[in-house]
Chains A and B, each alone.
Chain A
């Protein structure tokens, strides 16, 4: 059993990229926060590294963001690395699809504690413990272009297992996806040389294998879009060559994205009769959210809060950016449908006026209405109406049947032909992820039912 090594695993920092706070202009204080949240997260990572006296930090790609390249970001990174240098904490970095050019043509030269692993082949850096022995081997290979189809994981080979072997890899972990290192989880688990796979690219933190070799996505330390919901952070890992690693989550994101569903159905409590009632319902819900412990949004430790270590000053979370989805059927739908655009804008303004300046704040990114007309006999319809069943069947099939789904998505038009990584695709197209498809089909179904079984038109 080699010596224990303590390190931080992070990735997808996308330094310099501001948060997507939606269509409304935030007040100056929040605007600053939204621009600087990524910087704060990185600073928080460094603070935590110093606090926990880690041996080194692993950054599994996309430290930079070629789409948000700036001198400030470069300078900020330099300053943070200098802080680490003072405490002899090394930083091992690979480039991902967003920073495939790595350190080329950056304005500032990083200090000597920073190791950028190359893209030509898998490179190995050795971490020597204070005792003088090799504490860990860090292996990694950077992207050489925006897309990386090389199956580079197969070249992560270590001379022995006496030292801790850590693999830094930026991948979608999808063998079909040729853009982001095609590989599957089992391939990584099969690599016996490696003790810990420090993965990057997927922004959701995930511990895919807790035993050796551990397979872990650290996720991004700060979500940047409503698609990246929940508390974000990095992993503090303590491990040796034989035992399964001790992994703890260190929250770093000052801003947490959330998607909140509000049901206007009578069955779900109070039923808003007018827009004021609806606003009140949303405000109450917002109050509840603001009172919640942000750790509730972490779902990979099976709610074991002990594994989530807050920084000294408490939770780093300063507030939330929320996408509201109002669903269900009720009388308020007609009022919404009458002037959906104005109602949406008005409610968003009201929410932001009320909660933007609070501490913690709540900023409304967007408000979606998946509502339908009031339909008294809906239960009976669901039970016995053939047409209703027929419609539900088609919806169900569209979600399950790939062919039908493909046909459906084709009908959604070119605008939905975006890439899952929207930076890689056209910026004016969107990617229809499963959740989106489900949401939109549900809304469509809602409308159809309204059209067929309720009075009047849905839109």
Chain B
């Protein structure tokens, strides 16, 4: 790619400057200082990349404005415009394709840094550390640029490598030690797991150790168990001894008592408990009977007060049947007496009732009731009497009715007479007359009127006629009716008067019939003893007759009742007399004044006394019987007791009670002795039972003198042995306290043994538990698991670390190889250029030892190696870097414009000439802008390169010129434009 035109519209010193036809080869632009050479260098340097804002460039008048026409390798023309700090804008100038193009394509993708460092060279760029290359990174980059690993990707390699290295370092440090960075956590986890594992691995050894300890403890425990058993037996024996020492002492005591006891001589069978019980019963019964007998005697004497107890008692008992009979009848007696008295009262009441009734009928009869019986009611026929009475009554009734009718007719006659006197007399004829007169008067008036005025006459005529008619109708009929009514009244009065006369005749007839009937009735009155009083009407006579008849009947009945009552009285008196006789016979036996009998005469009236006496006798009899009963019981028991003792062959006194007590006393002694024997036996049994109550105790006592521990003995032998050993042991002690003290000692020792045993057992349990734990692989498995997990995580990190380190490693290797290749492909031709430039003084260039630095080595003709760039002269150093750059420039495609801004100023003439030669060759393929103020450089170029183009630059103005002119201008001999 080459510049064809350049138009600097506004850039620093340049204002509307054109370089219209720029040569494709070497373009020499000469000018003095501040003429604009360095400004031009910067324009060309940044043409493909845009101007930087770092203030390193001269300011524009208004805005940077540069335009350049470029020709590509394939002769395509492009125009590049840069305005201000904008990106370069490329436009294709061919007719076919006006599209915009990326400037980087024209520059072959070469980056700004590389272009600057390789293609745009001032003196600065030819230093070991050019401006802007201060840090290692930049140094390294420059190194890559110079060595031709110019591909941008290779240039990126160190940076990527470093990045991955850093990342790896973050993960596991620089050296990837497990205890560093992110590894550390898992490293620690693994260490912990390892520790756990180591501990867990001890388990088997610990298990064996624990097993051995368990065996030791078991043996020790067995010994202790034996000792404990021994002491346990000892303790048991002493405990039993202690608790039964009293029993043992008691046993001994009873033994002594038995020997001296009175009851010993009594035969136990005679005083067997049932006999004793029987005797006690007798004793008790006899006592009760004696007491009750005494009570009965006492009561008999008190209540009965007999003249002689025995006799009275016997009399009562002998007559008890008869007495019982009477007593059984007593209620009957009482009933009969009551009955009799009630009937008597009733008869009396009835008689008084009859007297009253008789008095009511006829006062006379009130005190002479007997007379009523004399009236002969049997001679009167009741039927006749009744019909007679009826006849009289009928006649009287007819008479009364006719009299009543006559009275009514008389009243009616009076009324008619009154009406007749009050009624007016009627006059119809008068009315007719007046009507006629009125009629005529009317007609006349009418005629008169008609004469005067016909209508009036007519009205008057007709009006008078109408009035006459009304008058007739109103008064004539009324008068006619009045006359008729008066006539009727007269007729009625005559009829009534006739009827009254008829009634008077009837009354007279009836009175004649009544008289004989009345006389018959009077006869009856006489018969009945009634006064001849007319007032006593027929009805009364009839009732009187009926009452007398009934009274007579009832009186008769009363008389019959009275007769029966008297009979009853006699019988009752007779019965009571029998009772009285009986009681009288007993009366002498008692000296009780309360026992009083009634006289025989008023026996019924005093029957209460009689009955009371009978009650008493009955009571006495009861007492007598009780007394008799008790006497019998007493004797009976006495006999039983005698029989009982006779059977037991026990002597009996007369005094039964005493005998009984004697027997019971003996029995008590016998029982006491028996009790002692039983107590002895009981304590013995109790001891045997205590000693055999538990196997533990039995074993302890049997083992006392049995070292072979032979325990299968017969029951009786065993019992005997137990007691013997017990007694033997007891006898070793003088008191219970002594045993207690010994027991406490043994217990304390036993307790200690047991504590030791428990402690050993605890140890054993704990060891067994430990053994169990130790036999579990849990811990070792857990440790492995933990370790595996941590290792797994750590491995992931380690792999990541390895990958990152590998990235770094591979990239560094790739870069190294690139550099190595650069030695061959770049430094070799560069060495030749240097050789040429230095006229063979320097033979070779070697890459620096430290990769990434620009510390190249140079080999002199005599194969003497310089140490580094720093030891070279400035000119040689610039030649070295120029040689390297040219070598690189030749390598890079496409061929880009090269700019040299007085870069060769430090070369001596010989070297400058050589350099010019090299540039001339390079100019064949590359466009080279040589900016200089040195005329001799212009001369050298002119001599070595025929096709070079020359421009004079003065104060920012370009003018094309020739080599000679430019040389003269720069040497100050030429004419200024």
Contacts and interface: CB of A to CB of B under 8 A. Distances in A.
Contacts of B789: 22-25
Interface string A404-423: 10011001111110000000
A391 B178 contact: no
Interface in A1-55: 16-25, 31, 35
A88 interface: no
A365 interface: yes
Which of A25, A366, A440, A441 counts the most chain B CB atoms within 10 A? A440
A440 B806 contact: yes
Contacts of B817: 390, 393-394
Nearest to A106: B204
Contacts of A416: 176, 798, 802
Interface string B797-837: 01101111111111101100110000000000000000000
Interface SS of chain B: helix
B810 A414 contact: no
Contacts of B774: 71
A105 B204 contact: yes
A432 B805 CA distance: 14
A441 B776 contact: no
A432 B191 CA distance: 21
Given A368-B799, A414-B175, A428-B190, A452 B792 contact: no
The bracket for how many chain B residues form the interface is: 35 or more
A428 B810 contact: no
Interface stretch (B61-69, B115-123, B780-788, B847-855): B780-788
Given A20-B792, A69-B201, A107 B776 contact: no
B187 interface: yes
Contacts of B167: 459
Contact of B810 (A17, A71, A394): A394
A264 interface: no
B799 A107 contact: no
Interface string A57-70: 00000000011111
Interface stretch (A72-80, A146-154, A171-179, A271-279): A72-80
B759 interface: no
B208 interface: yes
B794 to A, nearest CB: 6
B791 interface: yes
B189 to A, nearest CB: 9
Contacts of B793: 23
Nearest to B799: A440
Contacts of B784: 17-18, 20, 67-68
A415 B179 CA distance: 9
Interface stretch (A190-198, A254-262, A327-335, A442-450): A442-450
Contact of A387 (B777, B788, B798, B814): B814
Given A23-B792, A66-B201, A413 B175 contact: yes
Contacts of B177: 413-415
A71 B787 contact: no
Contact of A411 (B179, B197, B795, B809): B809
Nearest to A73: B777
Interface in B202-227: 203-205, 207-208, 211
Given A408-B809, A412-B176, A415-B183, A428 B794 contact: yes
B202 to A, nearest CB: 9
A16 B780 contact: yes
B810 A448 contact: yes
A365 B795 CA distance: 12
A226 to B, nearest CB: 9
A430 interface: yes
Given A394-B814, A427-B791, A444-B807, A71 B204 contact: yes
A415 B810 contact: no
B873 interface: no
A319 to B, nearest CB: 17
Contacts of A71: 203-204, 207, 774-777
Interface in A240-256: none
A398 interface: yes
A37 B925 CA distance: 77
Most chain A CB inside 10 Å of its own CB: which residue of B151, B154, B191, B814: B814
A390 B807 CA distance: 13
Contacts of B791: 20, 427-428
A368 B168 CA distance: 17
A448 B176 contact: no
Nearest to A70: B777
A270 interface: no
Given A69-B780, A427-B194, A451-B160, A412 B794 contact: no
A135 B123 CA distance: 96
B807 A105 contact: no
B806 A444 contact: yes
A411 B808 contact: yes
Contacts of A106: 204
A413 B183 CA distance: 12
Contacts of A91: none
B210 to A, nearest CB: 10
B806 A408 contact: yes
A319 B183 CA distance: 31
A452 B798 contact: no
B535 interface: no
A391 B792 CA distance: 30
A429 interface: yes
Contacts of B787: 427
Contact of A368 (B205, B796, B818): B796
Contact of A415 (B151, B172, B200, B785): B172
Contacts of A20: 784, 788, 791-792
B156 interface: yes
B778 to A, nearest CB: 9
A362 interface: no
A455 to B, nearest CB: 13
B302 interface: no
B186 interface: yes
A393 B820 CA distance: 15
B153 interface: yes
Nearest to A426: B178
Contacts of B178: 414-415, 426, 428-429
Contacts of B156: 451-452
A124 B955 CA distance: 108
Nearest to B169: A413
B61 to A, nearest CB: 42
A114 interface: no
Interface string B584-596: 0000000000000
A301 B192 CA distance: 43
B802 A428 contact: no
Contacts of B798: 412, 415-416, 430
A212 interface: no
Given A20-B792, A414-B176, A68 B780 contact: yes
B160 to A, nearest CB: 5
A72 B776 contact: yes
A231 interface: no
Nearest to A458: B807
A286 interface: no
B720 to A, nearest CB: 55
A102 to B, nearest CB: 13
B154 A72 contact: no
A18 B785 contact: yes
Contacts of A447: 164, 803, 807
Interface string A371-414: 00000000000000011001101110010000010011001111
B805 A412 contact: yes
Q: Nearest 9 pairs between A and B by C-beta? A: A413-B176, A444-B806, A70-B777, A71-B775, A20-B788, A428-B178, A72-B777, A412-B802, A394-B813
5 contacts: A20-B788, A71-B774, A408-B806, A413-B805, A441-B806
Given A107-B204, A439-B799, A441-B806, 9 more contacts: A23-B792, A70-B781, A412-B801, A413-B168, A428-B179, A428-B794, A444-B802, A444-B804, A444-B806
